[in-house]
Structure 1
Amino acid sequence: MSAASCLLTEDQFLCSICLDVFTDPVSTPCGHNFCKACISQHWDTKVPYQCPNCNKLFHTRPELLVNTFISEMAAQFRQSAQQKASRSSSEQQVVKPGEVPCDVCTGTRLKALKSCLVCLASYCETHLEPHLARAGLNKHQLIDPVENLEGRMCVKHDKLLKLFCKTDQVCVCMLCTVSEHKTHDVVPLKEEYEGKKAELGKTEAEIQQMIQKRRLKIQEMNRSVELSKEGADREIADGVQVFTALKESVERSQAELIDTIKEKQRETEEQAEGFIRELEQEISELKKRSSEVEQLSRSEDQLHLLQSFTSLNAAPPTKNWTEVRVRPPSYEGTVVRAVTQLEETLSKQMKKLLELKRVQQYEVEVTLDPDTASPYLILPDDGKQVKDSNVRKNLPDNPKRFDYCFCVLAKQSFSSGRFYYEVQVKGKTEWDLGVARESINRKGKIAPSPQNGYWTIWLRNENEYQAGASPSVRLSLKSQPEKVGVFVDYEEGLVSFYDVDAAALIYSFTGCCFKEKLYPYFSPSNNKGGKNSAPLIISPVNPTE
């Protein structure tokens, strides 16, 4: 029997009236089976007597007898289904706080998988099965499990809320539309749902846009912080540069002051041996004072240095030797002269910084023009670097191109106003930089000079700097520039070159007469077997303020 039951399905033991497993199954004369109570109740309300399955009519009410075979089979199937449900229940999840429980489970309640809007009940996996398998139940509307299904019923008419009253903005049932909502604007629930869902989608898009705007604002603020930090770093670098010069000047003044005092001391020793002890004491005090000056000069505490400076600026506390027959040395003006020299050094340093800041405000965008580049040069796509390739490329020889010298011009030209750009020359042993007029000769050998339309400076042999004047001018620089700034005032006829890191002027062409377009001019020179392989790089300007 058990082997046979494996071939039977649940549909074979369902009453077509109650859609449940047979209870006291009986057979009609036409051979169909029903629960005894179901068919009896059906015939109590339906006349004439008719089979619910095949619609066969009976003139008299048939006598119903229990089908023993079907009854036994249904009982075994019910028992098997209960055991299966029991095993399935143990495998399913027990409902947890916050989850929707199955309304059919007794004892341990399991987590509901779906809720039925027709039955107004929630079902676990086992109790949901009839809604998935039976013809009468699989048309019910199933949704994700929700609580309070009763809230989906009209409290007044006990009917399902299937409509939406747009006038009162409430959900209503069919009977509501013929009573208190009779004249109102009523639409199907699905229609209003789709409308509201579209509005929510629009609201979500607006919220996402607001979020994006705020994220962009955060990025903007972070960028502002980064720029602020960069500015602070530059200001610190400038401060270190200024105070380093100040410190060096103080140390030089101190050394000169000590030398002067010692020289006068020696003269005094030759005049009066008897005053040696007292003079040595004065020298000791002066040295102590010198140490205080040195210590103060090394202080990075700006307020402390300025507050202490006045007291140390006073004349040193030495004895007046006017009444002594040996004339004492005079120290009048020694410290003042040192301080004056210090002020002049600081003033010059600040003047250089301010001058560089002034010209940097005229920064322009500069990119290299590949149509003018020598066939030996390499230019990346961004047009911001150039170097020698050691190999001559096969390029079209247009009138704009330099065919022999390792030169290239910028795409941008200038015929008025002021402009400034910076070029990194770090690691190079030779280079040329400057500006050139549009009509320059670009073929064969070139002799850069103002007469030939070039205003340039150059480096040769690692440390030999010259300006391309007529004749050329040898330049003596305190340090080797790693970044060179080029400034042009077209109307003023001025071309100036700056050591950016040192904030120092390298050279200026003055009194120039410009009548044509001017182009930034670059030459990385030959790479000298790899010694001069570093590129010239057009760098963004980082203002010193």
Structure 2
Amino acid sequence: MAAAPVATSTKSSLREELTCAICCDLFREPVMLACMHHFCKPCISRYWRGTQGPVTCPQCRKEFSSKQFQTNYLVAAMVEKVRATTSNTYIQNVEKRLKESLESHRLRREDYINSIRRDKDKMDTIKRVSADLQARVKGEFRALHQILHDEESCMLEQLKREQDEELEKVHRRLEAVKLAMRELEDNMTKLQQASAATENIVLTELPQLSAHVQVDTAPEFDVNTFSNKYMAPLQYITWRKMFKSLKPGPSPLTFDVDTAHPSIYISRDKTVAVESDNTSLHTCHSKRFLQCVNILAAQGFQSGQHYWEVEVGCKPKWDLGVASEAVDRHSRIKLSPETGYWTLRLRNGNEYSAGTQPWTRLQLSSSPQRLGVFLDCDERRLSFYNADNMSLLFSFTNGPRGKVYPFFSPCISGGRQKAQPIKLLHHPLVALSG
């Protein structure tokens, strides 16, 4: 903080030492007499003009036998430097740099203020979403609370831990931004003081500033990623462990024969669909798929929450999900939300994709043989799970409106491979481990 006054005092003393005692101005062509005193060459020459015999130093009055002096190039260079740093152009340049630096710091401070505001809003979002998720978790567990109290407590503890982790991430960055802003404001104070000091003194350099504290880019808070685990069908996950206590149970789907493509064979109990080389003699019906090997369930949904499971076994290709009631069933179209389909698909035995536009490739650690589908009509959310361990495969967060039907396609097997069926499961076949 005292750097500017010290620099000013030093500068003033230096200027006095570089001032000619005759003309009282900065040296011009400085020369040095034998007594070590300096004068402007024109000034001392004029002072001795007309003097006969010994001459004297104008400052100490020492006599010299002859008019002799020598040019001092070091002093001359110092004079030129002082003269340059006291020029109007130099002063204006320093003032300009001060203003630019101050403006830069002011803009950066505004950025930090806005960043702090965004971080605080993000913290509010995390808290709000976490509160909503806690309410949902409690609601899901209420029906099984007596026998599943430990499950509920465990899930809430995990949610609280993840909330705290997310809040801690934002809190750490918030503290870093506050520290950076304090350093910035300290620099601004130095610059403002230096700027004010230029009215009375001359600065040769900017004041010493603290180094800027680097602040990492704020990571985005993905509400969907944070929410997916707790937006899952928690009662149905627990049902895999204690399904006898679950009320109501999963949706007991059956295939709608009137929608089946002619190449699809349907079992008598309407829970198995398989591609057939022999075209079935289905009656003509406006609901039937004619171009694609597709079929719908007989049960449709337009409100509430619904869950069902499908066994795909080791089939190398299939499509499943939901379809809007009004989809075109007589033309060949691409499966996408824009055409009324929200689906998951398998190709070539190991290529899983979600039916977005364009397709979203999924990297799965294992190949699920049973899939769970969870439809929340009110939240417009459709999620797919590996029913063997209830791990989330993909979730559509902007799902269908209106009435939809579970959708399936056993696909054309091709080659000499034996066609494998798609089965609708009405109860868990094995207890979930863990």
**TM norm. shorter chain > 0.5:** no
**Band of TM-score, shorter chain:** 0.3 to 0.5
> Structure 2 length as normaliser, TM-score?
0.43
Q: Which has the higher contact order (CA 8 A, sep 6+)?
A: 2
Point out the structure with max Rg over C-alpha: 1
> Structure 1 length as normaliser, TM-score?
0.34
